Structure 1
Amino acid sequence: MSRILNRAVVLGAVVSLLSLAGCGSSPMNRAPVEDRGASTSSVPTVATAVKPPPGFENAGKPGYYTVKPGDTLIRIGLDSGQSNKDIARWNNLDNPNHIEVGQVLRVVPPTGEAVVVTKPVTTGAVTTTPIATPAAAAASAAASAPAKPASAPAAVPSTAKAASAPASAVAPVAAGSDEDLAWIWPAKGVVVGEFDEAKNKGVDISGAAGDPVLASADGKVVYAGAGLRGYGNLIILKHNNTFLTAYAHNQSLLVKEDQVVKKGQKIAEMGNSDADKVKLHFEVRRQGKPVDPLKYLPAK
């Protein structure tokens, strides 16, 4: 009997030892995972070079703009007072619809390049006065001079006077000056939304769907489309190197980009695209900054 008990004790001890051995084998099973982690951490990590955004070297310089989230070239053009096509050209953008956050864009003309706005060709009966040569001016002056007695020889104007007369007649008004633009109202309705630089960057003018929208001054169409969120069908006119105007929420657009228009020309029909009701949202931008249109439009 005692032998049987002794064997049982020995057998129990062996079972216990085997159990302990089994428990001890767990770390061995986990060892490859730990070794693998250790070996991986021991391999030096090679840092991947981050490519800086295009134009980063110009960040913060006057005449340059750093792209922010949500920006489009149309928005940047409106806020800088430039044509989005000009900005694309100045920055050699292969795809104007692809700009990245942090990219730095030139938003002023390169040195030596002047942005010129072509004046519209006026229709109707217009008398034009070409710049005359001195000889032609002298002949014209002599022909228009009243007849004098034969004994008194006709006076011939000096070359200096003949040359200066036509020049003074066509001397242009300084580009960009307020006097260069005789503003008119772009629509006949009443103002239902006043200017607020933070909330409303222009004025809202009431009307009915299809009412004519007119160019407020001579200019060139630098944008016509629906690519700017919140504006619907939009037209942007560039009038000179200082002023842009924007006409938003139209029902239809009647002009195309790069088209030259004259003051009072119908450029769109009023609508409610991207708006809660029919209205014209009209903005005046002075060097890209929104200003109160009522300070430029004539009193009604």
Structure 2
Amino acid sequence: MRKESIFNRWHIIAFIIMTSLMLTACSSSKSAKSTRNEGTFSGAVYTVKRGDTLSKISRMTGSSVGELARLNGIPAPYTIQVGQRIRIKGSGAASRPKNTATAKNSAPSRSQNTTIAKVAPPPVGARCWLWPTKGNIIEPFSDSDGGNKGIDISGSRGQPIYASGAGTVVYVGNQLRGYGNLVMIKHSEEYITAYAHTDTMLVNTGEKVKAGQKIATMGSTGADSVRLHFQIRYRATAIDPQRYLKPSC
């Protein structure tokens, strides 16, 4: 699902987002039956193998893309990696496939005591990231299961939100439940930033933005108070923004 090189990158990402959202609205029970033997489950956890996408996993497990994204803190465009463990809501949705021999050959399960290597975070200072807005941090980053995969910053409705770095806008919308009005910017093949719960979104998909450019205003869409939920993703893995943000570059 990542690093396609033939077409314009943001066109591909936009297509993947729309495809995933369409799949969320459809029943996946029939597809789950036809693809039951393609993955590896351990309890309520699915281990990603080569060629998997979040859409494919949703069909196999009978879960929606949106539900899997929320449970695992995966923002659009739903990039996942080989070996990543995807939590499935409820053990019933994650029943072990009948063809266990095929499953064991495709990817390791938890019962095999295989350790999945985590992506090492980038060194501090390797890239300059600007603070996206002013305010107090009301919810810090947490890398625990189900933890906050970004930081939540309080502020006033209509307060400016700025691009943390230069890049291309790859998503503008509110189809991902729990994030409200969401803007996502791709900065390179390794980095994506996300700006959630915004009020007014001031950029369009495919637009090039500069570091510090105003891209939205603060709001409370998808939240119970006015705030900005901000994420930095490195190679699809959420990293603690506070370690990398600087007042100026």
- TM-score class, shorter-chain normalisation, is 0.5 to 0.7
Judging by fraction of residues, say which structure has more helix.
Answer: 1
In the alignment of these two chains, the number of paired residues is 163
Residues 80, 270 of structure 1: alpha-carbon distance in 2 compared, 3 angstrom cutoff: closer
Worse-superposed segment, 67-76 or 224-233: 67-76
Between the aligned partners of 1:81 and 1:200, the Cα distance in structure 2 is 12
Question: Match of 2:132, as an amino acid?
Answer: P
Aligned 8 A contact 2:131 2:247 in 1: no
Between the aligned partners of 1:253 and 1:55, the Cα distance in structure 2 is 42
Aligned 8 A contact 1:79 1:288 in 2: no
Match of 1:117 in 2: none
Aligned 8 A contact 1:187 1:212 in 2: yes
- Report how far residue 79 of structure 1 moved: 6.4
Match of 2:162 in 1: 214
- Report how far residue 256 of structure 1 moved: 1.0
Match of 2:52 in 1: 64
Q: TM-score, normalised by structure 1?
A: 0.46
Aligned 8 A contact 2:125 2:244 in 1: no
Identity percentage over the alignment?
38
- Report how far residue 181 of structure 1 moved: 3.2
Between the aligned partners of 1:190 and 1:61, the Cα distance in structure 2 is 40
**Unpaired runs of 5+ in structure 2?**
1-31, 41-46, 81-92, 95-121
**2:152 maps to 1:204:** yes
Match of 1:291 in 2: 239
Worse-superposed segment, 196-205 or 59-68: 59-68
Larger Rg: 1
Q: TM-score, normalised by structure 2?
A: 0.55
- TM alignment of 1:1-300, pairs within 5 A: 52-53=34-35, 56=38, 60-65=48-53, 66-67=57-58, 68=61, 69-72=63-66, 75=69, 83=77, 181-197=127-143, 198-298=146-246
Between the aligned partners of 1:190 and 1:80, the Cα distance in structure 2 is 24
**Unpaired runs of 5+ in structure 1?**
1-49, 88-100, 103-175
Secondary structure in structure 2 of the residue aligned to 1:234 = strand
- Residues 179-232 of structure 1 deviation map (CA, whole Å, 9 limit, x = unaligned): 663110000112111112333111111110000000001111111100111100
Residues 252, 270 of structure 1: alpha-carbon distance in 2 compared, 3 angstrom cutoff: same
- Report how far residue 242 of structure 1 moved: 1.2
Q: Which runs of 4+ in 1 moved over 2 A?
A: 50-68, 72-76, 78-84, 176-181
